Amino acid sequence: MTHLWVRAESRDHEARVGIMPEGVTSLIRQGFTVTVEDSHQRIVPIADYAATGAAIAPEGSWPYAPLDALIFGLKELPADGTPLRHTHIMFGHAYKGQPDGRILLDRFKAGGGQLLDLEYLLDDAGRRVAAFGYWAGYAGAAVSLMCWMAQQRGKVMGPIRAVPSQAHLLANLQGDLVQLGTQRPTALIIGALGRVGTGAADLCRDMGVATTLWDMAETASGGPFPAILQHELFFNCILARPGTPVFVPASAKVADRRLSVIGDIACDPDSDFSPIKVYDRVTTWDAPALRVADSPVLDVTAIDNLPSLMPLESSQDFADQLLPHLATPDSDVWGRAADMFRRATA
């Protein structure tokens, strides 16, 4: 009998969850044991999980879970260096040369546990079976537009917080744009045919931002790409991997350009393969914009849990995609993720 332990997220401003109460009900009916930790910030109240018949555990109690429990979360674990004894389902960000990734893998090796990375749950054709991509793109474009509006006021963008719903986000953005009273910027999206790019394009359409859509055909030359510098906004919506061309070189800081905001929605600045070379660290909810040039201004926004800006919609969408695979823990999807972990720790 599979025991799924849904842990609370320890990261600030992370209100998402990977399984909704109706998904817990479905798993219990199929014979699963499900434990859900209490959480002070999860968008779904713990009472909704208790009503499913799941066991409720104290927040952060997963280190004491039975060793055969699958510990299911989304973002990173507390960075306390302790060995990891369980199998963890999460976004590990550990396979592309990230420094923190090596530390995480060493913790698994020390404890004898295993990482099943949500980013590497792939079907037979190599496509991800579940992703937050659409809402990452939508939120990333929204934050970038907020950053641009702050620039029009002569400021660097201040802190952001989650909104109750997509409708609230759109109303806030539209009100700010009307108050600003300026023309809309133009945007260029790379990765426009994917889930992330589609989300970014939809936000731009909703806000009346004229958008140039690029995908593999437009970047096949390998660069350089001067057209990127001729748009006020640029959204990088592709995952960094070997062979990814450079979209924004370091020289863009001093180049003649209209570009003033880069939304690096893929957000892999410490990867060896990052295509954005003007910055080297993620930004945060409290400081979402990193100013990398002053004359003319150029800000980068790169928040690595963007979908939590709209935690309810993004959680529901992701949970719907993932649930069929949570219900089949012995499938090839999970086997491939386990193989990836074994290769990374060999």
Catalytic residue among 3, 75, 96, 277: 75
CA within 13 Å, CB half, 61: 13
Strands (E), the chain: 3-6, 33-37, 55-57, 70-72, 87-90, 114-117, 186-190, 210-214, 233-236, 261-264, 290-294, 297-301
Structure tokens at 146: 């907020």
Q: Which amino acid would we find at residue 237?
A: C
DSSP conformation class of 122: B
Three-state DSSP at 128 gives strand
Catalytic residue among 13, 86, 88, 93: 93
- Our answer to whether residue 109 is catalytic in this structure is no
Structure tokens at 187: 């945007």
Q: How far apart are CA 6 and CA 131, in angstroms?
A: 18
Q: What is the largest CA-CA distance in the chain?
A: 62
Q: How far apart are CA 120 and CA 339, in angstroms?
A: 10
- Our answer to whether residue 168 is catalytic in this structure is no
Q: What percent of the chain is helix, strand and coil (3-state, nearest 5)? A: 35, 15, 45
Helix or strand run (H / E) with residue 202: helix 195-206
Measured in whole angstroms, how far is the alpha carbon of residue 155 from the centre of its chain? 26
Q: How far apart are CA 9 and CA 16, in angstroms?
A: 8
**Residues with active-site annotation:** 75, 93
